[in-house]
Amino acid sequence: MKNILLLLVLLIFIIACVGPEEPLDGLYKNTPVVVNTNEAFTLSLRAENYSTEENYNLTFPNQNPIKFTMVLIVTDFAARTSDTSFIDIFNSSDSLLNKYILNNNINVAPIENLEANAIPQKIFFKADDFSGFVQLVLAVGDK
């Protein structure tokens, strides 16, 4: 009888356990989500005091010219204003195309036609004790 009671209590305890609550935006803190295809690159991150240095090689086609769309959104920025977090975008010859310093809320969304030497091929992301939400989307399409 004692074993049955103990087994019943354990069974109730195991059934009552649940996992952690799912985040509303689908992102866990300090876990970047990266999607890198021939047509698009996406980096999404909900950060809290997050530090990292990451390189991402892009696989965009080198056709000439190409229609290029970029969206960079930084919201909920809560790090110190002297934060040195940034995103650098390079072309195939490692020339810097754009540098975006992540020290406040940002919303950038240019659409342009690019020549082959201006097509992004590498991204360097450095976060230095960064807190906030970052979403970077690069996409290419036919002209």
Model pLDDT, residue 15: 64
Model pLDDT, residue 143: 57
pTM (2 d.p.)? 0.76
Query: To the nearest whole number, what is the mean pLDDT of the chain?
Result: 81
Would you call 2 helix, strand, or coil by DSSP? helix
The stretches in the chain having pLDDT less than 70 are 1-2, 5-27, 79-83, 142-143
- Round to whole Å and give the CA distance between 6 and 69: 62
Model pLDDT, residue 35: 92
Model pLDDT, residue 113: 78
